[in-house]
Amino acid sequence: MKKIPTLVLGGTGYVAGEVLRLVAGHPQLEIAGVMSDSQPGESVAKALPHLAPALGDLRFLSESEITTLITTLPKSAVFSAAPHGVSAELIDKLLKAAEAAGTHPRVVDISADYRYASADAYAAVYKHPHGAPSRLKDFTCALPEHLQQSPTPHVAHPGCFATATLLASVPLLSLGLVTPTLFVSGVTGSTGSGRKPVDGTHHPTRHSDFYAYNALAHRHAPEITACATAASGITANFAFVPHSGPFARGIHVAVQATLAPAYVGLDSKALLTKLRGFYEGSVFVHIVDTPPRLKDVVASNYACLHASTDGRTLAVMCVIDNLTKGAAGGAVQWMNRLLNLPEHIGLTAPAAGWT
């Protein structure tokens, strides 16, 4: 079978780099073009040197070159890792061009632009108008573990903190195990802050340090609430405190909640059985018997979850790689499904173990 040509937007960032790394090892996808409007014509390997062996002399393309590709390739896989506020309009322009040309690209947007059901909800969080409100109806935002089949042709992948929080929380809400207030403490690696260095995330500041930020006011909290409601049918209150961790890759999330009256007295073994039942058939979610570590998952598409309860409250710990399962890997997983490929292909390599 001929490989499916793949286009990546927002080409110089960490997430785009991770998409390129995964596509390079994917049996059914191949890179057809990487867009960077700031550096068209420049070598991709120069911007992402760790990918040089896989990319050869691939050059960044301009928006018009990408448009030419999307309108001539009968079928293509498009990943957008463009910044939020840019992605929506760019995708909309490309899809309009494809519709006019009669080609059939499938898009997974890893930016925040298509994660909200309405332009109003987006504007309330990001404080600027949505770039293409009429396109929102073509996107569904969900984790592949929580939605069997996308009802829309394109998908928006939830953010990295949202991915870890939802993996831990949705089973609790969906199975009715807890009362609907969840206390979430999350720690992210420095790659979560993106490629552009800023004071608070610069290495000398961050190394050997640990601190919280935007407690109970993180911009991804409304997105987590909406995705959890869509997946479980329960609207929960997420009290979210994010932290910056002194490592490059990975997210560790701990979710605590009060057991629902019907489950008071539940023991940890029964809780783990319930989680295993919920994620049965999910290739990338492992329920483990001891609290998981970042190094169990870093550089892989796997998530590890552990839970315990004292019969009154429970705690669920979840680790993922923020760039892989929390962004590029989850996006490839969705793309596999949108292209009717087996969900797991190109994604099953285990964690690096020592980083």
Partner 1 sequence: MSPIDHLAPVFAQYPIEVIDAEGVWLHTRDGRHILDLYGGHAVAALGYKHAGWTRALARQADACSFQSNAVPMDVRARAATRLARFAGGHFDSIFFVNSGAEANENALRMAFKMTHRSKIVAIEGGWHGRTAAAGAVTWGADQKWYEFPRAPFDIGWIPRRDVSAIAGQIDSDTAAVIVEPVQGVGGAFDLGHEFLAALRARCNETGTLLIFDEVQIGVGRSGQPFAAHFYGVMPDMITTAKALGNGFPCGALLMTPRVTSALKLEGLGTTFGGGPMACAAIEAVIEAIENEKLLENVRRVAKYLRDTCTVGPVTGHQGAGFLHGLICSRPAKDIQKSLLERNILVGTSGDPHVVRLLPPYILQETHVDFLREALQDL
Residues with active-site annotation = 160
* DSSP single-letter state for residue 117: S
Kindly indicate which of the ranges 111-119, 201-209, 284-292, 329-337 contains the residues binding partner 1, using the contact rule CB under 8 A: 111-119
Exposure string of 167-195, with b = 16+ CB inside 10 Å and e = fewer, is bbbbbbbebebbbbebbbbbbbbbbbbee
- The rounded distance, in Å, linking the Cα atoms of 87 and 131 is 8
Of 64, 72, 118, 348, the one binding partner 1 (CB under 8 A) is: 118
User: 52, 303, 46, 346: which is closest to 158 by C-alpha?
Assistant: 303
Of 101, 123, 234, 339, the one binding partner 1 (CB under 8 A) is: 234
Rg (CA), the chain: 20
Q: How many of the chain's residues bind partner 1 (CB under 8 A)?
A: 26
Q: How many CB atoms lie within 10 A of CB 142?
A: 21
Which residues within the stretch 263-322 sit at the binding site for partner 1 (CB under 8 A)? Answer: none
Amino acid at 189: G
Residue whose CB is less far from partner 1, 151 or 281: 151
- 176 contacts partner 1 (rule: CB under 8 A): yes
Exposure string of 85-110, with b = 16+ CB inside 10 Å and e = fewer, is bbbbebbbbbbebbeeeebebbbbbb
Mask for 86-105, x = binds partner 1 (CB under 8 A) = --------------------
Kindly indicate which of the ranges 20-28, 76-84, 116-124, 196-204 contains the residues binding partner 1, using the contact rule CB under 8 A: 116-124
Helix (H, G, I), strand (E, B) or coil at 178: strand
In whole angstroms, the minimum distance from the beta carbon of 342 to partner 1 comes to 22
Of 64, 235, 273, 355, the one binding partner 1 (CB under 8 A) is: 235
- 261 contacts partner 1 (rule: CB under 8 A): yes
- 137 contacts partner 1 (rule: CB under 8 A): yes
- 355 contacts partner 1 (rule: CB under 8 A): no
Residues of the shown chain interacting with partner 1 in the complex, contacts defined by CB under 8 A: 116-118, 120-121, 137, 140, 149, 151-152, 174-177, 180, 226, 229-230, 232-236, 260-262
